[in-house]
Chains A and B, each alone.
Chain A
């Protein structure tokens, strides 16, 4: 008996994990496919409407265009906010439903006693399942993110690409968020050994994560500041306006309340800013930081997911059946 290799190669462990998780992965792909198909059909309908009403091709700054867009929203996109929130939860659902049972069901069904006594050992077996599940999930989430981004393009016209709901549904960020749900659910399953609890905690993590990332997102890079001499409710370009402040003709900073007290109407304020020497300062993240921000957020969420999975493996190593 040779004693050079004491366990089967890693690729073999992954193949075994593939056999073990194939039903779950096939279910994931089927559901994902069905949802994507529905989104594609609905998206086609909405993009079609955008062309038909002309809201997609006109100059967004003009009043006529705003009216067209309003009509478009009314006619075609009434259900968008609702569907938007569904798709918002959906990404995390896939992660939690794949990650929750991954370890918890092994305990519930008692199959750990088979899996952990094979030559590969419990560490490789657990890591193999997590790697395989995470990899498939990442690919599926990437594709799903592309579909979601195309589908929600009409909303982007309205809210800008940095709109929180849209930002977390775009591909690299969506992958990270889904992986956090997956890792969180897997770790919860390893610790609690209950599938339902694990899935629930994974879902909670995927819903809570966007709130956390929204709180820190504006700090990824130092925001820029620009003096503006026009009161406008629309951003100049696709920038992400974080806040505004005002200064008087002497250049002193004045509070927003004081500024609003200076004029009686919107037109008064408008003329103050345009001709009266007052300045509105916009603090913003420029539009070309969209992809860097996506990758930064993808980076730390994915690291968090990897840490959660590593914690699950560590827990499995030290805990007994």
Chain B
């Protein structure tokens, strides 16, 4: 069953008691990507992943996953793997029993894959989950999720509690699975500096709304950092959509959206492409700026549209 989007929601919102964790959230993530979901604490990342996994119901709006499936429906649960934050599993059970549980609870189950995965890392199957190291626990959770042969894998802060070596091991297993199965992955992360090697699609959440969404290559190609005389900065800023505007005495730095071409500015301006980390940080520092694709991403009223 081919699906063009793995997560599709228009105007979805989730309220906990009186505060909105997610509000008016528009998102359409195409299949076949490794999606990084970034944003400050409390931006709604966990809520968005919980909604997609069917753990939470939206307060307003609706979401579909894997094309036209409702999150939490049997068909969706069958095809989505979920690795929770801190990878919590039953601490008193040996790894072997956890694998057996997964086998009993799922219609699709690749036991050999999980065993190969864990044995390859030297994780003893008879050891209790609670006695494994943090990195090993994360690997067991990943093995359980991948053994379902999911079409979409959701991971909530999978790297947060891991040391650098464990992070590297985790990501390499994950990316190998992506290469083998072609599954779509969406993971939330704080480690902005490590994103560039692992993801090819970016979603930035801030204050419960989607701020940036798009393929990494398009986003990086569509932004330029302009450095030039402050005297002309005002004129440039009026013509181009500026994400971040830093003006000093003589020189100014403007991060602008150019739509994949060089910005039409005079020779006095130097333009550079920027890295993913820099891009993410710029947007996070400017909560009102946004970069959303059409037609699903609504153009905000406070957003300047790129002039031809």
Contacts and interface: CB of A to CB of B under 8 A. Distances in A.
Given A16-B105, A110-B86, A3 B75 contact: yes
Interface string A1-27: 101011110001101100110110000
Contacts of A321: 50, 55-56
A109 interface: yes
Interface in A102-154: 109-121, 125
B162 interface: no
Interface stretch (B90-98, B114-122, B276-284, B292-300): B90-98
B191 interface: no
Contacts of A112: 55
Contact of A8 (B56, B85, B106): B106
Contacts of A61: none
Given A19-B93, A111-B90, A119-B148, A6 B100 contact: no
Interface string A178-194: 00000000000000000
A232 B101 CA distance: 64
Interface in B97-138: 97, 100-102, 104-108
B55 A7 contact: no
B74 interface: yes
A250 B20 CA distance: 81
A113 B144 contact: no
Interface in A19-72: 19-20, 22-23
A109 B57 contact: no
Contacts of A1: 1
A7 B54 contact: no
Contacts of B187: none
B107 A5 contact: yes
Chain A: interface size category: 20 to 34
B140 to A, nearest CB: 11
Question: Which of A12, A119, A120, A320 is most buried by chain B, counting CB atoms within 10 A of its CB?
Answer: A119
Nearest to A7: B74
B84 A113 contact: yes
A74 to B, nearest CB: 48
A114 B88 contact: yes
Contacts of A3: 75
Nearest to B71: A117
Given A111-B89, A118-B105, A320 B56 contact: yes
B84 A16 contact: no
Nearest to B81: A117
A15 B104 CA distance: 7
Contacts of B50: 113, 320-321
B220 interface: no
A109 B85 CA distance: 11
A120 B106 contact: yes
A15 B97 CA distance: 11
B245 interface: no
B104 A16 contact: yes
A65 B220 CA distance: 100
A110 B88 contact: yes
B195 interface: no
B105 A119 contact: yes
Interface in B59-80: 72, 74-75, 77-78, 80
Nearest to B88: A110
A320 B56 CA distance: 5
Nearest to B16: A320
Contact of A118 (B75, B93, B106): B106
Contact of B97 (A19, A121, A320): A19
Contact of B82 (A6, A13, A117, A320): A117
Contact of B107 (A8, A113, A115): A8
B190 to A, nearest CB: 19
B89 to A, nearest CB: 6
Nearest to B128: A23
B90 A109 contact: yes
Contact of B77 (A16, A114, A117): A117
B29 interface: no
B105 A13 contact: yes
A7 B84 CA distance: 21
A7 B107 contact: yes
A58 B144 CA distance: 68
Nearest to A321: B55
25 contacts: A3-B75, A6-B107, A7-B74, A7-B78, A8-B104, A8-B107, A13-B104, A15-B100, A16-B105, A19-B97, A23-B92, A110-B84, A110-B88, A111-B89, A113-B50, A117-B53, A117-B55, A118-B102, A118-B105, A118-B106, A118-B148, A119-B107, A119-B108, A121-B74, A121-B77
Task: Please name the 10 residue pairs, one residue from A and one from B, whose CB atoms are nearest each other, closest first.
Answer: A113-B84, A110-B88, A16-B104, A6-B74, A118-B105, A119-B106, A117-B82, A320-B56, A12-B104, A321-B55
